[in-house]
Structure 1
Amino acid sequence: MSLAEILAATENFNPKLLIGEGGFAKVYKGTLESGMKVAVKRSDSSHGQGLREFQTEIMVLSRIQHRHLVSLVGYCDEGLEMILVYEFMEKGTLRDHLYDRKECLQNPSTETEFTWKQRLEICIGSAKGLHYLHTDPDGGIFHHDVKSTNILLDEHYVAKVADFGLSQSGMPDPDHIRMSLKGSFGYLDPEYFRTLQLTNKSDVYSFGVILLEVLCARPPIVNSKQREEINLAEWGMFWQKEGQLEKIIDPLLVGHINRKLAEKVW
């Protein structure tokens, strides 16, 4: 796509259209000439980083298509600009809905759209998207950054896995191991942390952390004086051994979730 198209769609990257920011990129809501709503991810070229991630994302999203993977509409590579244009996801990220709920906690009788059934459907959809990646005929694609901010929701709360900048294609190659950790702390597979060898099991571990987030509505890493509470995965295992899962389940789910089903998710 031309830079002129993107500038028109985002009103010259109007700050009022900024909907996300992180790492070395900003994301804007845009409207193409056709009327299609899009999310425009603009890398910050001043940092001199992101070229590999930019190219990886284009290559991966150009060869895959699935109901539960976000779609790439186009990209722009003019001058110093590295811009990716995706379908717009109306309901934002999974994390937004898990943590932005002050009104619901202050008034438990308040109806919340984000029901237990919706949470399960989001998890199932995300799992289907990851399974599609892992079963790619060319040896699989490992996402490498599975987390609740990379699970996006459309207007019907259909989940789509996003952000493929750290993805790795093909079978693991022991002769070409990355010499630095990539990914997000709290979601990193301990075995990958130890060996730097990425596999599809790394994504599965990260997805398991997301399941705990959905069940407990708390971040994967928190500040705490209690060591076992800092890491969500360790905290969950601690209470599972105690046989008291209800101690850490999201208060908004109390009375709306079957214990056996919660244990199955666990």
Structure 2
Amino acid sequence: MTGTISETTSGKIALITGASRGLGRSAALHLARAGVHVIGTYNSSKTAADEVAREIEAEGVSAVMLPFDAEAEDFGAFAASLAEALQQTFGRESFDFLLNNAGIGYNRAIAETEAAQLDLLYRVHLRTPFLLTQALLPMITDGGAVLFVSSGLARFTLPGYGAYASMKGAVEVLTRYAAQELGPRGIRVNCLAPGAIATDFSGGVVRDNAEVNAKVAGMIALGRVGQPEDIGAGVAALLSDGMGWMSGQRVELSGGQGL
């Protein structure tokens, strides 16, 4: 699926939250290989972000990395930083693709979930994508695209993920409403729902624990857990011109997990 962005889309600009590692990094690199410039965000590791920027630029496109706190209160301040970066690096006042990717993992039974942790999941996984998208709407090009990230756990269930999956279910509802409201501007809005992926998410348990990896692989039709490249390729495909008639949809990339 790499390189699926058409020539008419090449040279456009994508903003990716959480681009310094995991699925965000993979999405950034796949889009870069397809000719899309990347503005990424990172939370704490500027070193990791700078390394990803170098990898992106090695693909022949421009990269900018901006600090961003997924628990932020002032989205206007980030919008101002983004506007400055757009003008300085690209001579533009707008960008084309918004990928709301940044997130945190959480695994605890409903009976053991603390109110503070539930509030944190809400702020990171629902409040921030909602308010960030709202703040950046004037800067998204008409005919552009917004892509939210949900989870396969919003469809199938695994013990301990009730709080996390509930937030992702809300993101899927948000996707449909945003698609309806932004449709008059030609902005398509969709939602990507990854299955189990071998990253450092949730402490890297799927990636680093062989027993867990094998157990989860046994639940997947294609017989393996996903890799970051599977999701990065999917992002590039969903933002391609070939998907220009799709909006308001949930697309799961899970290898057939929990069928």
Q: TM-score, normalised by structure 2?
A: 0.30
Higher relative contact order (CA 8 A, sep 6+): 2
Give the greater-gyration-radius structure (CA).
1
Q: Which has the higher helix share?
A: 2
Q: TM-score, normalised by structure 1?
A: 0.29
